[in-house]
Structures are given as C-alpha cells and as structure tokens.
Amino acid sequence: MSIPGTPMAWAPDSLAGAPVAGHRVVAQTVPLAQERLTDQAEQSPLTVLRRWESSPGGLDEREAQDRLLRHGEGGVPGFGARTGHLIRAVAAPFVVVLICLSAVSALTRDPRGAVLICLLAVLSGGLRLFQEYRSDRAAAALRAIVTTTATVLRRAVPDAVPAAREVPVEQVVPGDIVQLNPGDVVPADLRLLSSSDLTIDQAVLTGESFPAGKHGAWTQVPEPSDGPPELFDHPRLCFMGTTVVSGSGTAVAVATGSDTYFGATIRDLPVRSPETAFDRGVRSLSWALIAAMAAAIPVVLTVTGVVRGDWPQALLFAIAIAVAITPEMLPLVVTTLLVRGATGMARNQVIVKRLPAVHNLGAMDTLCIDKTGTLTVERVSLTCHLNPLGRPDPGVLRWACLNALWSVELTGRLTGDAIDEALLRHAGMLDGSRGVGVIPFDFARRRATVVLRPAGRGCDTLVTKGSVEDVLNVCTRVRIAGSELALDVAERVRLMSVGDRWAADGVRLLAVATAERPPVGRALTPADEHDLTFIGFVGFRDRPESSAAAALAALGRYGVGIVMITGDHPLVARRICRDAGLRVTRVVTGRDLAALDDAAVADLAVSGAAFARVGPPQKARIVKALQAAGRTVGYLGDGVNDAPALRTADVGISISGAADLARESADVILLGKDLRILEEAILTGRRTFANTVKYIKIAVASNVGNVMTMLTAGLMLPFLPMLPLQVLVQNMFFDLSQLSLVYDRVDESQIRRPRGFDLRNLAQFVACLGPLGTLFDLATFALFWRVLHAGSSAADQVLFHTGWFAENLIAQALALCMLRGRGRSAPRAAWPVMAAAAALGLSGLLLPFSPLAGILDLRPLPVAALPLLAAVLTAYWTATIGVRYLYVRLLHRWL
C-alpha cells in the first residue's frame, strides 16, 4: 500500500528571514511547508485519514513496518552521545604544538626528547578525552529519564479489531493513530481527530507558560475574519516534544522524526559548534607561541652559524631555543586546570559537557536568558481576586475555588488544569456546598460552569469561570457594593478595560459569575448559561523563581549583563524582568528585529532592551550580534526553541529538566533551577582561569628569559650554555611544579569581573619580568666563568651546564612563589604550591647526584659553587620583589 502525495516536511533550513504573520515569531517562514500542515488542519478528519491511507482503527502491523522502512525511525534524530571526542582531543592547538615539537626532536635524532614530548601530548589529550566521555555519560543518564513510548492503535492484520499498544517513539509512523493522555509527550506532529478538554504545554517550543487548548472538531470554531490561526495557535495541531497537561485526544501522525518541527530544529543546528571565547584565546596564544618559535629558529641558526662557523652545533642550539621558548606542559596544565574546575562544578550540581566551557563561564560578560523554567517556575500562580470595581474581594476567590474544585471532581479528572491547580492551592476549607452538575471547559465557550447545592437551601447556585469576554456574553447584571445592577454596554466596556489594564502588567484575568436557579433534575447544558450576575475577577501570572532576583543581582555585581530573550508576550516579558529586578529600557519584538542590522541589535541588548515574541533563528541572531560586538555570550534556556542559541553561544547552559534537544545543545547542565548554582559555577570558572593565566604568564616569562639568556650566551660562550635535553627536562620539571597552581588560592580581585586571554597584558608582563631572569642568569655565567673557571675544558663545560641547570631550577621555584600574586595583598600560597616549589629547587641540587645524571650529562657541583648560587638567587629574589612592586604600581594590574 502506498501513501499518495508527499507528507509535510517542516524545513527551517530553507527559511528566508521574514517573521511569521501575526504576533508570535517562532521560525522563519516556509510558505509551502506551513501551507501543507495547516491545509491538513483545515480538512475534515476523514479527508486527512484518506490522505494518509489510514483509518480510525489505525494501521495494521505489516503496513506500519513498511512505512517505518520507507520513512525511517521517528523520535528525535541525531540524539545520543556526541562523537569525535578523540579527534577534538588530538586536534587541540596545544596538543598539536607538542606533536610538532616531538616530530622536530625525532628528526634531529633525539629519540629521548621525542618520546618525552609525545608522552606529554598523550597525557594532555587523554585527560580531555576522559572528562568529555564522563560528562557524556552523565548527560546520557539524564536522557534515560525521558519518556520514550507512545500509545497507538494498531491491528494485527487488516481485518482485526484495533487495540491500543505501547510502542517506542521511534516506531511511530505517518498515518498512525495516536492516543494522548495527561502526562504524555507528543511523539510526532499530529492532526487531532477528536479530543476532550485537551490542553497542551507548548513552552518548549513557544516559551509561553499557559497551556494551549486543542480540539479536533474541524467545524467547532469558525475561522476568524483576519485569517487562519498561527501555526502553534492552531487548535487541531499538536507538535512533537510538547506535553499533555490535561484531557485526552486521538490524532493522526502527519510528520515524524526529522520532518517534524522539533526534528527540523535539530537539522537546522550547525554541525560543528561555533568557535568560543576559549577557542579564540587558545588559538591566539598558540599562534603567538608558534610564531615566536618559528622566528627564533632561523635567527639563532643564522647568527650562531655565521659567528661560530659550526652549523651542526648551530642547528642543535636553534632547536634548544625552540624547546626553551615553548611551555611544553601547557596543554597538560590547562587541561588539568579545566578538569579540576569541571570536577568542582560537578560537586555543586553542574555537569560540564565540554571542558572549554569552564573557562567560557568565567569569561562570560553577557548572559542571555529565557524566562520559562529559569526566571519563573513552571506553573502559574494566583495574583489577585477583585470585585467589578477592581478592589480585592475574598468572596470572588471563594466562588472561583468552588468552581475549580467541582470542575475537577465532577469530570473525574485526577488533577485540574494550570488555572484550577493554582486556585486549589488557595482554596483552604470550603463550605458544605455540594457539586451536582458541571459543564466542562471547552475552547469554543472558553468557560467552565458548575452547579452547587448548598446544604439546607431549596435552590442551586450556578458558578461560571472563564475568559472575561465570554463570561460577559452570558451576564445581564453586575454586583457592585452588594447591589445587582443592569449590565449595559458602557459597563461591559468598563469591565473589559479592567482586564486590559491588568494584561498590560502581565496578569491574565478570568471572570467569575453566579446565578440562583431552582433544581432542574436534569443534566446541565450550555443553554443554562444565561442571565448570570458578574461578580468579579481572578488574576494569574507566571510564578517568579524565588531566588532569581538575588541571583541576577549577584551576577550583575560580578560584571555579567543580563539580556531577556523569550517567545512570550512583550508585556509578560516586561513584568518578569521587573519581578526579577532587571532594568528594561524597552521591549523589542521579533517583528522589530527584521528591520535592524546586527550592530543595532547588539546596541539594544547592551543598553538594557528585552526581546519578546522571538523564535529560534532570531534568538541565535541576537547571540551572534553580541559576539560580533566583542561580547563573550552565555545562553540559558530549556526549550526546543532555545537550541540554536544554545549551540551558537560561547557557553550554552541548560537545566536537567529541559527538553532533550536543549540538553544536547548545551555545554553545561545545571542539576537544579536555582540560579545561585550558576553564580557559583561562574566563580569557579574565573578561579580556574585565574590559575591558568598564572601558569601561562609565569611559564612564558621564565621561558623567554631563558631564551634571551641562551641567545646572549651563545654569542659570548664557545659552547652551548645548556644541552637541548637538559632544556627539555628543566622545562618539564618547572611545568610539573606549576601543576600545583591547580590547587592555589585566588585573589578575590581576580574574580570580580569577566576576563579573557589578553595577549597585550601577557606581553607587558613578560617584558617587565622576563629580562630580569636573563640578567641574573648572565651574572651566574660570569661568576662560574671567572671564579670557578668552568668552561675551559669538556669536563668544565659539564660543570657549567650543571651550575646553570641548578640555578635556573631554583630561580624558577622562587618565581613560582613570587609571581603567583601581586604581593602582600595576595592570599597565602596553598601548601601544594609551596611543596612543589621546594621540590623543584631541591631537584636542581640533587639531580646531579642521581642515576639520571649520566643521561642528562650532569655532575655534582663543588662546595665553592654553593655560596655563589646563594648570592645570585638572593639578589634575584630582592630584585623580583622590587620589579613586581613597580609593575603593579605603574600598570595598576596584575595577573
């Protein structure tokens, strides 16, 4: 059996950029694709079933299997653990630098150096690989919590009686008859055939907190005069990934898998994650190191070769310079710092899926945030209960609560909708009135009515609750100050204006009306809803997250600007911002964005604008505009409509209860909705970055000083001041000692503001403190040459190498302690740093006495050399303190 026609395929990747007509912008327009979907919604149920060659009893199993083979599995395409971890680990810039150095060492017949550098590359890449694998396993555990089955009607053979059965979401095919019940996740894009009080939570797609009413009767609601409803407002369409809040329904699947809006959003995401602030910083630093290494080799080779005439020795010396200028342990140290930061975040309920996100969190200076599930909890709250004059009236609340209670009780539902639940939380102890009849809420009447029979009274009370306009349509009187007055046209207009004023503050008002009626002894019908008395309003709005205001204020103090981006109404966005303590200069809608260039969008965001009625492509565009303006952007969201922005941002942040696609697109997952968790994660990222910068600055300054020393000594001495293997081992010992910076304390001034890689500041630091080491290295050379006469023979050259090897390691141990902070105001060094510095200094003195001395070509120093070393190092200590003081005073900055 074949399916005639072509099923609708939503394809945002071909969208052009004009906003969808109407008040909500969810995606860019695809006229043909949208027309196919809305066309099926406007057709009769029988016509839709014929189009898909299905029936009310569903497909038979053989036909379902055939369609599964033709259309492929449904569900969410592309989900699962990310791949390519090994490629990313090996292709990291710092690892590439190590691999290149290892290759150079191998080509110059230095197998020991090549193996040693290659081992460092393996350790660095392996740490990153392990951390990302562990994070993916944690994310996979979250995915396993999500419902993965759907209820469909199937027949064993074509003529068999249809039966409901549970099937994996992946096995739902176009033409399947799907049954929806409270709590179900919609498994495909569906066209409703029938329904009963069905409400759907579409927040993951639209950002709106109030559930949307859906019904299957295609003639039930006349089409409005201004055209068909928008896609997500259409009452007969349900979308994959949304959730059934209440009621039930039967629908036919019209799109599955990647043909759904949900699946197409995944197709529309970039295959590769965009370059983040960390990636840009690492790339800049890596190229700076590579450029310095590339520039040093020919200069040193040419100068040494021309001056000495010994080109083989000049080549070895140039390789030594290249090794000296590059911090070989940089990948391992940076990776270890990021892993420790990620581990610390895990203890604080934060899963880091990509290690660079640790840095990006700390560098983030702008956080774009969607309100649903982050600034607000995922349920509405009762805001007010008013009489017709707009004044608080507990009597109105009582009648509304009775309506909610018996609407749930008499319809046999276990729970009410979001409005009823909010009312019942405030119901308290109600009187002895007993519900005897109900007309359930439907989306044609937009109201619900119950009949109450108070004990000891001979008449019933009819209580109606619903939209203001639709309740007013069945009212003829209004109760004001205890008197019932005729409800004329002017009073109707006034009551409607009350609702409009509250709506401007983001509050949704419902009307309440009552009437006294004699018992009728029959079931209640909509015809009984007439001649009611209007008694007041009850108001609802999104319930703000209790910790949001304090958390956002703290982020502001730490230099993180907040930008609200939501698919909800502009008035709701403004009110949520006010509740959260965010200053909003104006609200920009998705329609407004179409007329603005990216620079203007960024200016609006930075100046305090909030964005409402924006869809997934526009959210991503706002993020890109901020990045183009030089901002490091984070995005916090939990819906399908947030996925493109999450993937585009420097750091995408989601929560554990978010939609699958949002979690998959994020770099960081918060296991709780308290934004204070994010605040602590940002501070952890900044501490990690502060220690990363400590390592980079100390290592590069020390290495540059060594290079200057070797270049100067190479022009003055008749031999190499240190052998290439000695340089490599010295750097390795120094870098291993700097691993202790992972555990170091951080000056609070370094985490107050966002920070990124600053090559200019690095250059200033190195220019001030690098030559200082060179000065005292040359002093050491002079003392060894003149006092100890080291260098006059081959044995004396070994003594010279040993002396500088020891002096250099001890000087680097001193630098590790002195350059880790700005002086007395810096926190005391952590004990691992002190222990590592002591071990580094002792290694310089003890290695010549160890079994490695022969391999490294070292020999024990004479006792006469020790006072010389002590004098030089004491002078170096004193001079470094003085230069550090001047550096801080003149430049007013430190690490």
Q: What angle do CA 342, 348, 351 make, to 5 degrees?
A: 45
3 state SS for 153-168: EEECCCCCCCEEEEEE
* Extended beta strands in 587-738, E state: 587-589, 610-612, 633-636, 651-655, 668-670
Maximum separation of any 2 CA atoms in the chain, in Å: 123
Alpha carbon distance 846, 671 (integer Å): 49
Strand partners, 246: 199
The string over 45-80, giving b where at least 16 C-beta atoms fall within 10 Å of a residue's C-beta and e elsewhere, is beebbebbbbbeebbbeebbebbbeebebbbbbeee
Whether residue 819 contacts residue 777, with contact meaning beta carbons closer than 8 Å, is answered with no
Q: How far is CA 229 from CA 13, 222, 291, in A?
A: 23, 11, 60
What is the Cβ-side half-sphere exposure of residue 889, based on CA atoms within 13 angstroms? 6
Cα–Cα distance measured from residue 698 to residue 778, given in angstroms and rounded to the nearest whole number: 20
Cα gap 819→876, rounded to integer Å = 13
Burial degree of 612 (CB within 10 A; 0-12, 13-18, 19+): buried
Per-residue tokens: 191: 């066209």
> Cα 373 from chain centroid?
13
Give the three-class secondary structure for 57: coil
In whole angstroms, what is the distance from residue 773 CA to residue 811 CA?
8
Contact 487, 477 (CB under 8 A): yes
CA-CA distance, 753 to 830, in Å (whole number)? 23
Residues 6+ positions from 568 with CB-CB distance below 8 Å: 206, 207, 208, 209, 371, 372, 612, 613
Active site residues: 370
3-state DSSP percent of the chain in helix, strand and coil, to 5: 50, 15, 30
Neighbouring residues of 288: CB distance < 8 A, sequence distance ≥ 6: 759
**Which residues fall within 8 angstroms of residue 224, CB to CB, at 6 or more apart?**
none
Its sign, for the CA torsion 604, 606, 610, 613, is positive
Residue labelled with tokens 């003639």: 219
Ramachandran assignment for 850, one of left (phi > 0), alpha (psi -120 to 50 degrees), beta (any other): beta
